[in-house]
Amino acid sequence: MRIDIISVVPDLLQSPFSHSILKRAKERGLLEVNVINLRDFSTSKQKQVDDYQYGGGAGMVMMCEPISNCIEHLKKQRSYDEIIYMTPDGEVMNQKMMNTLSLKNSFIILCGHYKGIDERIRQLYITKEISIGDYVLSGGELAAAVFTDAIGRLLPGVLNDETSALTDSFQDNLLSPPVYTRPENFKDLIVPDVLLSGHEKKINDWRHEQALERTKTRRPDLLNEE
Binding residues vs ligand 6GU (CB under 6 A)? 86-88, 112, 131-133, 135-137, 139-140, 143
In the complex with ligand 6GU, the residue whose CB is nearer, 113 or 207, is 113
In the complex with ligand 6GU, the residue whose CB is nearer, 89 or 161, is 89
* Rounded Cα–Cα distance for residues 121 and 85 (Å): 10
State the minimum distance, in angstroms, from the CB of residue 198 to ligand 6GU: 45
State the minimum distance, in angstroms, from the CB of residue 87 to ligand 6GU: 5
State the minimum distance, in angstroms, from the CB of residue 128 to ligand 6GU: 12
Q: Is 46 helix (H, G, I), strand (E, B) or coil?
A: coil
- Residue 174: C-alpha distances to residues 150, 171, 210 (Å): 17, 7, 10
In the complex with ligand 6GU, the residue whose CB is nearer, 141 or 177, is 141
- Residue 131: C-alpha distances to residues 39, 116, 146, 167 (Å): 24, 13, 10, 24
Q: Is 8 helix (H, G, I), strand (E, B) or coil?
A: coil
In the complex with ligand 6GU, the residue whose CB is nearer, 114 or 170, is 114
State the minimum distance, in angstroms, from the CB of residue 56 to ligand 6GU: 22
Residue (of 101, 100, 107) closest to 34 by Cα position: 107
Q: Is 17 helix (H, G, I), strand (E, B) or coil?
A: helix
In the complex with ligand 6GU, the residue whose CB is nearer, 139 or 178, is 139
In the complex with ligand 6GU, the residue whose CB is nearer, 88 or 152, is 88
- The length of the chain in residues reads 226
State the minimum distance, in angstroms, from the CB of residue 59 to ligand 6GU: 12
H or E segment to which residue 201 belongs: helix 200-218
State the minimum distance, in angstroms, from the CB of residue 143 to ligand 6GU: 3
Dihedral of the alpha carbons of 135, 136, 140, 144, in degrees to the nearest 10: -10
Determine contact, residues 155/140, Cβ cutoff 8 Å.
no
H or E segment to which residue 26 belongs: helix 20-27
